Amino acid sequence: MNIASVLENQKIEKRIAITPEIAKKYISLGIDVSICENYASHLGIKDEEYKELGVSILKDEKLILSNADIIVQLGLLSDDKNSILKGNQTFIGILNPYENKDKIDTLVKKNINIFSLEQLPRITRAQSMDILSSQANLAGYKAVVESFANFEKAIPMMMTAAGTIPAAKVLVVGAGVAGLQAIATAKRMGAIVFATDVRMASKEQVESLGGKFLTVEGSENLETEGGYAKEASEDFKKKQEDLLSDTLKKIDIVICTALIPGKKAPVIIKENMINNMNAGSIIYDLAAIQGGNTAFTKVNEIVDKNGVKIMGESNILNKLPTSASNLYAKNLYNFVSNLYDKENKKININLEDEIIEKTLIK
């Protein structure tokens, strides 16, 4: 049994799927590991570190892919590499099946086992494999750091002989994993933090981190059975808009994290709200790649709207690729371990296992 990984397109993805630590774990399971030359050199990890563990390193990526039983990546391969894949191989990654349906269907028709890990069920047994949580956690932290770096005032309250500098006020829109980490990070750095979410279960979590939860009057709990947010009613959206419009007048930094799986991100921060914000304020939109939570978000651009800077990147984790890779590789290993029949040394696609059944694209 051979597991393999090749470089992603470095222009859009710097994370890797197999770290030396995880390569060692695969080998201890009796699985051979193959990677391409300079697989992790951009992260400061030399090929020699892998070689010392017994990892095969080859120049020819096509040869690596054609000989692999299991292929682990961040996203889908390019079309020329996809054409190499053949029946009974297993491909695992974050594949965005809603947007990549045609490409994935082509692979499924070739009898390739496709697993998309963003479809993992939110059950206790799957927590160690939960790539959305591990990556969102880092994204929430980094969004705060990036916002604070662009904010031209001090963050914590400072009392000096020359006078007092007030603490910055931060609003986090969406209190999922990314939002909760954003709250915790902003609080640690001395900000006053507010948060809002359509899921009422978030209130206790926000308050446990020292944030103030903004409750929409007469709100209902808009949470799916899987723990994700679902789309709000028009009445809720109007009440939320009124609440945010008033709140944003006194907010310095906004961290937007609101996403609905498989859909365009909801536009929560409207033009009139931004017009009411103070010049010098920052909005960091983690939903930028799915359309954004503001009316003016542009991917990989800083938009200046009446002195308010609106930021959003296609992949903020490219700014934390080493930490993100470490967590992602561990998530993958835990998933593969559940999929791998150690006794018979083969992949066991047991559809009675909810983890396998939910992530397999049929």
How far lies 253's CA from each of 84, 259, 341, in Å? 47, 19, 49
Give me the pLDDT at residue 228, please.
53
Bridge partner residues of 22 (DSSP) = none
Q: How many domains does the chain have?
A: 2
Which position among 122, 245, 337, 353 bears the catalytic label?
122
Spatial distance between the Cα atoms of 300 and 201, rounded to a whole number of angstroms: 32
Q: Are residues 326 and 304 in the same domain?
A: no
- What does the pLDDT read at residue 201? 85
pLDDT band, residue 238 (cuts 50/70/90): confident
pLDDT digits (tens, 9 = 90+) for 165-223: 999 999 999 999 999 999 999 999 999 999 998 888 899 999 999 999 998 765 555 55
What is the identity of the amino acid at 297?
A: T
Full DSSP string of 326-350: HHHHHHHHHHHHHHEETTTTEE---
Q: Band the pLDDT of 104: cuts 50, 70, 90.
A: very high
Which of 29, 6, 1 is CA-nearest to residue 16? Answer: 6
- Active-site annotation holds for 228: yes
Tokens 């009796």 map to which residue? 30
pLDDT (mean) for 243-268: 91
Given the residues 34, 73, 116, 130, the one annotated as active site: 130
The answer to whether residue 362 sits within a structural domain is: no
328 is catalytic: no
Parallel, antiparallel, or unpaired for β 346-347 and 56-58?
Answer: unpaired
Structure confidence at residue 56 (pLDDT): 97
Write out pLDDT tens, residues 321-361.
999 999 999 999 999 999 999 888 899 999 999 999 999 99
Q: Single out the catalytic residue among 89, 119, 133, 135.
A: 133
Q: Average pLDDT of 257-279?
A: 90
Domain that holds residue 30: 2-119+321-353
Residues 230 and 92 in one domain: no
Residues 149, 98: one domain? Answer: no
Residue-level pLDDT at 200 = 83
Q: How confident is the model at residue 259 (pLDDT cuts 50, 70, 90)?
A: confident
| Residue 36 domain-assigned (yes or no) | yes
Query: How many Cα atoms sit within 13 Å of 10 on the Cβ side?
Result: 8
Q: Catalytic annotation on 127?
A: yes
Say whether both 286 and 327 belong to one domain.
no
Instruction: Name the pTM for this structure.
Output: 0.90
Catalytic (active site) residue 340: no
Residues 46-71 pLDDT 10s: 999 999 999 999 999 999 999 999 99
Check residue 149 and give its pLDDT.
97
Cβ contact 262:131 at 8 Å: no
What is the Cα–Cα distance from 15 to 17, expressed in whole angstroms?
7
Residue 242 a catalytic site member: no
The answer on 346 and 310 residing in a single domain is: no
Q: In this structure, are 91 and 191 located in the same domain? A: no
